[in-house]
Structure 1
Amino acid sequence: MKIKFYIIALLILATLTSCVQEVHLKTVTFKVNMINTEQPINVGVKGDFTENRWNETIPLTDENNDGIYEVTVSQKTAINQIQFKFVNNEEYELKEADNRVLEFEYKPETIIYETTFNNPESKITKE
């Protein structure tokens, strides 16, 4: 009987002290300058944050024809960073370089990520 009591007590203790991170809404607007890119076709972003990691392309559009393609993505998550690259006609940018990385804080965030295709420099604005 004592063993059963200890097992139940341990299960209750484990449940009460478990570490479950709270999720927060992350809204990211990706903007990529394609002005100096020859024939931008099917511009998009791929990364480890899509449902089908690195196999799904999120399309970007240039609604105002200024050469800046963009999309806004919102997701509730507890992750602290994402890795991604932009694609043009399914061809990855920065072929010999590391993936782009966007780090998150542990709170709801709205972020604008701006860059130029095939240029590793970026501007990150947090609102």
Structure 2
Amino acid sequence: MKNIVTIIAIAFSLLVTSCVQKTYKKTVIFTLDASEIKEVKKVGIRGKDKPLSWDYDTEMKFSPKENLYKVTTTFETGYKFTEVKFVVNDTFEFQNQDNRRVDFSKKDTTFFKAKFNKR
């Protein structure tokens, strides 16, 4: 009986420790040029990994000095990239096409610059 308990304890500890992937905090500063769109009412970003979601927009704020929309997001992830799409006036970019891939920098902060609906 003691051997069975020992085996179960060892198996459990191996399962718990070997399946956990190390996570990192990765900050991304997204900037979007939407200057080719007339009458921009709202700009957002959606994505695969939290805190972003495919179900709702994360609002991007307009920077008049740079004429760009910006948002800073911090991911807690074990992955080396994420996927996003920008949304202007409730319209997704690249409809029926692949998402944008954002490769995280080896440093803590990644700067991702994009133009709406342009690769």
Bucket of the pairwise TM-score, normalised by the shorter protein: 0.7 to 0.9
Q: Does 1:119 align with 2:113?
A: no
Q: Is the 8 A contact 1:61 1:70 kept in 2?
A: yes
Structure 1 moving runs of 4+ over 4 Å: none
| Aligned length, in residue pairs | 118
Q: What is the SS of the residue equivalent to 1:62?
A: strand
- Once residues 21 and 90 of structure 2 are traced to their aligned partners in structure 1, the CA distance between those partners, rounded to angstroms, is 35
Sort the Cα spacing of 1:90 and 1:18 in 2 relative to 1 into closer, same or farther, 3 A: same
Sort the Cα spacing of 1:28 and 1:52 in 2 relative to 1 into closer, same or farther, 3 A: closer
- Once residues 113 and 39 of structure 2 are traced to their aligned partners in structure 1, the CA distance between those partners, rounded to angstroms, is 20
Instruction: Name the counterpart of 1:56.
Output: 56
Structure 2 unmatched ranges of 5 or more: none
The aligned runs of 1:47-126 (5 Å cut-off) are: 47-51=47-51, 53-64=53-64, 66-104=66-104, 109-120=108-119
CA displacement at 1:65 relative to structure 2: 5.0
- Once residues 24 and 13 of structure 1 are traced to their aligned partners in structure 2, the CA distance between those partners, rounded to angstroms, is 22
Instruction: Name the counterpart of 2:12.
Output: 11
Sort the Cα spacing of 1:68 and 1:19 in 2 relative to 1 into closer, same or farther, 3 A: same
Sort the Cα spacing of 1:71 and 1:13 in 2 relative to 1 into closer, same or farther, 3 A: closer
TM-score (norm 2): 0.82
Structure 1 unmatched ranges of 5 or more: 121-127
- Aligned amino acid, residue 59 of structure 1: E
CA displacement at 1:12 relative to structure 2: 3.8
TM-score (norm 1): 0.78
* CA RMSD in angstroms, aligned pairs only: 2.2
- Once residues 115 and 18 of structure 1 are traced to their aligned partners in structure 2, the CA distance between those partners, rounded to angstroms, is 38
